[in-house]
Amino acid sequence: MPTIAGPSLSPHKRIVAARSENTGCPRSAEDITPRKRKLRSDSAAAVPTPIKWKSPRRCALMAEVEEEPNGMLETQFDCLDGKSKWNPRDDDQMKAVKEALHVSTAPSTVVCREDEQRRALEFVKGCMEQNKAGSLYICGCPGTGKSLLMFVYEFFQEGLPCLETVSVNCMSLTKTTDIFSKVLGENETGKKAIGSSTPLEQLQILFSQKQQSSSSKMMLIIADEMDYLITRDRRVLHELFMLTTLPLSRCILIGVANAIDLADRFLPKLKSLNCKPLVVTFRAYSMQQIVRILQERLVELPYVAFQPKALELCARKVSAASGDMRKVLSVCRSALEILETEVKGSTDEEPQIPVPEDQMVKMDHMVAALAKTFKSPVVDTIQSLPQHQQIIVCSAAKAFRGSKKDRTTAELNNLYMEICKSSMITPAGITEFTNMCTVLNDQGILKLSQARNDKLKRVSLRVDEADITFALKEIRFFRNCLL
């Protein structure tokens, strides 16, 4: 599949003009871009604005917005002065909020990645000015905005007219060598395929010979998910980067992947040739960055949908876990849905109750959404297992406490029968026991190896013992058993 389609940019260009200033004036349409840049750098410097004198300016409708210790958040709320109340029962308004928070809606400008954007842009411009080839490697965890930058990059093509862009998602290639034909395919200079030479050879010829045509456009190759090109002999990746080292090469290569040390590990030869790619690392988002990005997305909505503390909680939790922006958006949408069911559920009974004041996504919705996303289903499942299976899980937890990490089914059966005897429960027969072990294996709680004889299969535990203890702590019998 080629890289994902460009986002619909038109509705979001308004964001550029909609930012208000530090002093809390209402939004003015004449805000021009230089102002915006100043605002961003101001807030990046975290100027602590005085909180007190802003409160009388707050609209009466904005009930109980808590005083934020973080000066940056304050600046955002000034532009909320003119915002109306949000009615979550209105389908259109709910839809608008959901759309603003959907992963596929890409913002027009990339917030919090200005530094990386600048570096990449400078690199490309530098290459173009010197008419030299070069390679850039972008790395970072998933969900940190790498591919997003590439799309905004395409948007930047308007500023760089002399570039031909080839954008490839390496996952969509059937063979790794297809990347060369894709690159070549975009670069039809009128020459047909020369006999039986491979696309790679054609490219090499192209870049080593002097160009007859005067239009020497530079070529920008963007390779997404580049680690799919890694084969055992690492030839393809090498050749791709070597294209930039050929004497008359005029291509700029930008590779995107997750591993930080891809260039070092898989391309050692480049170092010796002194053409190592420039590495731009996209670090995982921090809490403040996540909050900024969320507010950026919500700022053009004419109402307040989220309580700021809720956004902060979400940002804090996800940044501590992975710093993945997609997860943040998913959690926010989940919280929206919880609010929606709550609101819609109450409509069924008595529609004449008026909408309570400031209905928005509050802390408890966000807490519920976070619990849903981060909770593992293991604890719930263990709690709802039938009794005999719980005894098996308990005996497995006891058996694998020490250093021994796997046992045969027969040994586990003995332990199981001991526990059953100690509590006067009739143990199930060996056939039934093996069946229950298979069911637990299917669910991913135990792990059964293959063996000819049923009794010789080796069993090991896939779930943490702490999870089991936590799940079974309500039942006194198991609590005593696991002591």
Partner 1 sequence: MGKENPAEKALNLIRGRLCDPTFVFRPLSGPPDSNYSKLKFIVSTSITEGCNNSILLLGPRGSGKAAVLDLVVGDLMEEYPDSVTLIRLNGLLHSEDNCAFKEIARQLCVEHHLLFSKMASFDENSQFIIAMLRECGLAHKTIIFVLDEFDMFAQASQRLLYSLLDAMQSVTSQAVVVGISSRLDADQLLEKRVRSRFSHRKILFLPPSREEIDSLLEHLLSLPADSSFPSGYVTQFNEKIKNITSDTRFKDMLKTFLNANSTVNSLLKFIFRAVSSMNLESGLLSLENFKTAFSSMLRQPKLEAVRADCSILELYLLVCMRRLEVKEQSSYNFISVMKGNLLIEFGLRNDESCATMKNNLGFYVFTEYKTIHDSFQTSDFYAQNVCLRAFEHLREREVICYAENRGQSQAGEYRPMKLLISASELHQGMRSHACCPAILLKLLDH
Q: Can you give the binding site for partner 1, defined by CB under 8 A?
A: 1-2, 4-5, 7-8, 95, 98-99, 102-105, 141-143, 169, 171-172, 174, 225, 258, 324, 326-327, 330, 333-334, 337, 341, 345, 372-373, 376-378, 380-381, 384-388, 413, 417, 427-432, 436, 439, 442-445, 462
Q: Which residue, 115 or 380, has its beta carbon nearer to partner 1?
A: 380
Least distance between partner 1 and beta carbon 436 (Å): 7
Least distance between partner 1 and beta carbon 137 (Å): 16
Q: Residue 451 CB: number of other CB atoms within 10 A?
A: 12
DSSP string across 375-438: --THHHHHHTS-HHHHHHHHHHHHHTSSS---EEHHHHHHHHHHHHHHTTPPPP-HHHHHHHHH
Q: Which residue, 140 or 308, has its beta carbon nearer to partner 1?
A: 140
CA 478 to chain centre: 39
Nearest to 322 by CA among 290, 296, 347, 280: 290
Nearest to 407 by CA among 437, 385, 436: 437
Q: Which residue, 441 or 469, has its beta carbon nearer to partner 1?
A: 441
Q: Residue 188 CB: number of other CB atoms within 10 A?
A: 8
Q: Which residue, 65 or 101, has its beta carbon nearer to partner 1?
A: 101
Nearest to 289 by CA among 110, 79, 83, 120: 110
Answer whether 343's CB lies under 8 Å from 354's CB.
Answer: no
238 Cβ neighbours under 8 A, 6+ residues apart: 266, 267, 269, 270
Least distance between partner 1 and beta carbon 331 (Å): 8
Least distance between partner 1 and beta carbon 178 (Å): 8
Q: Which residue, 279 or 430, has its beta carbon nearer to partner 1?
A: 430
Least distance between partner 1 and beta carbon 230 (Å): 12
Residue by residue, what is the 3-state secondary structure of 43-82? HHCCCCCCCHHHHHHCCCCCCCCCCCCCHHHHHHHHCCCC
Q: Which residue, 208 or 423, has its beta carbon nearer to partner 1?
A: 423
d(CA 415, CA 119): 63
Least distance between partner 1 and beta carbon 356 (Å): 21
How do strand 458-461 and strand 407-408 relate by DSSP bridges? antiparallel
Answer whether 452's CB lies under 8 Å from 477's CB.
Answer: no
Least distance between partner 1 and beta carbon 338 (Å): 11
Least distance between partner 1 and beta carbon 169 (Å): 8
Q: Which residue, 124 or 378, has its beta carbon nearer to partner 1?
A: 378
Q: Which residue, 135 or 334, has its beta carbon nearer to partner 1?
A: 334
Least distance between partner 1 and beta carbon 98 (Å): 6
Q: Which residue, 165 or 373, has its beta carbon nearer to partner 1?
A: 373
Answer whether 288's CB lies under 8 Å from 280's CB.
Answer: no
